[in-house]
Amino acid sequence: MNIVLLGAPGAGKGTQAAKLVSEEGLCHISTGDILRQAVKDQTELGMKAKAFMDAGDLVPDELIIDLMRERIQQPDTAKGVILDGFPRTTTQAVALDTMLSELGRPLDAALLIDVDPEIIVGRLTSRRMCRECGAIGTAADGDTCKKCGGEMYQRDDDNETTVRNRLEVYEKSTSPLIDYYRGCDLLVTIDGDRDPEVVFVDVKSVLK
């Protein structure tokens, strides 16, 4: 099973992806992970990508697709993949569809974890992280980490202004993508404003 995972920052995509990896044996692939690994391994494609990254430029779609093709053909993807962070545009989506069709591994679904923006603002602005162990908590947990006793703090990118800006960018960039997958009859929307375990029951149900 091959899935594109969609959802705003803070919608809970990472949690659901981790559950799919654990229970269904799918391989979670993010663009960032592919780029970092290819550069680390000093593959030919990795070195091409590094040149763009070092110059502060976006890695071209064609190169990302080639890296994706290389990654998807590795043994750990046999049961299927969850694509996270790619595609980001309809142009990338069309290129991805073409590539996957060539490999005989077309998409089964575009899974959208949908949460009201105001709920996400509340979630992210109340999020706190431990300076010592990196544990994630909420403002309700207080200033002391329950795991190690370290100081809990709010990350710079979790302030309300930044969160709202991230959501605005997401909305502008992803709305056309949602429309594209709806038009392809691949879009599956899940209400993400519930307990993660309940959300996952629905995710498994629709993917079956």
Query: Whole-angstrom Cα distance, residue 137 to residue 153?
Result: 9
Flag whether pLDDT at 30 surpasses 90. no
Q: Which residues pair with 127 in a beta bridge?
A: 138
Q: What is the pLDDT of residue 85?
A: 84
Flag whether pLDDT at 2 surpasses 90. yes
Query: Whole-angstrom Cα distance, residue 32 to residue 48?
Result: 15
β-pairing, 81-84 vs 152-153, is: unpaired
β-pairing, 27-30 vs 81-84, is: parallel
Q: What is the pLDDT of residue 31?
A: 83
Residue 44 lies in a domain: no
CATH code: domain of residue 144? 3.40.50.300
Query: Whole-angstrom Cα distance, residue 92 to residue 100?
Result: 12
Residue 51 lies in a domain: no
Contacting residues for 30 by C-beta, under 8 A, at least 6 apart: 83, 84, 85, 86
| DSSP tag of 1 | -
Greater model confidence, 173 or 15:
15
Flag whether pLDDT at 32 surpasses 90. no
Residue 115 lies in a domain: yes
> Which residue's structure tokens are 């629709």?
206
> Which residue's structure tokens are 């960032």?
32
Q: What does the pLDDT average to over 141-169? A: 93
Domain region containing 97: 2-26+79-207
Flag whether pLDDT at 183 surpasses 90. yes
Residue 14's pLDDT band, with cuts at 50, 70 and 90, is confident
Query: Whole-angstrom Cα distance, residue 127 to residue 138?
Result: 4
Please say whether the beta carbons of 17 and 6 come within 8 A. Answer: no
Q: What does the pLDDT average to over 138-144? A: 93
Least confident of 18-22, 24-28, 51-55: 51-55
Rg (CA), the chain: 18
Residue 50 lies in a domain: no
Number of domain units in the chain: 1
Lookup: tokens for 143: 């200033």
Q: Which residues pair with 187 in a beta bridge?
A: 110
Give the chain's length. 208
Flag whether pLDDT at 149 surpasses 90. yes
The chain-wide mean pLDDT, for the chain, equals: 92
pLDDT in tens, 99-133: 999 999 999 999 999 999 999 999 999 999 999 99
Residue 67 lies in a domain: no
Residue 35 lies in a domain: no
Task: Spell out the long-range contacts of 43-47 with Cβ–Cβ below 8 A and sequence spacing 24 or more.
Answer: 43/70, 45/70
Flag whether pLDDT at 53 surpasses 90. no
Flag whether pLDDT at 200 surpasses 90. yes
Flag whether pLDDT at 191 surpasses 90. yes
Q: What is the pLDDT of residue 99?
A: 93
Q: What is the pLDDT of residue 154?
A: 94
> Which residue's structure tokens are 């209400």?
191
**Residues taking part in catalysis:** 13, 88, 127, 155, 166
Residue 123 lies in a domain: yes
Residue 166 lies in a domain: yes
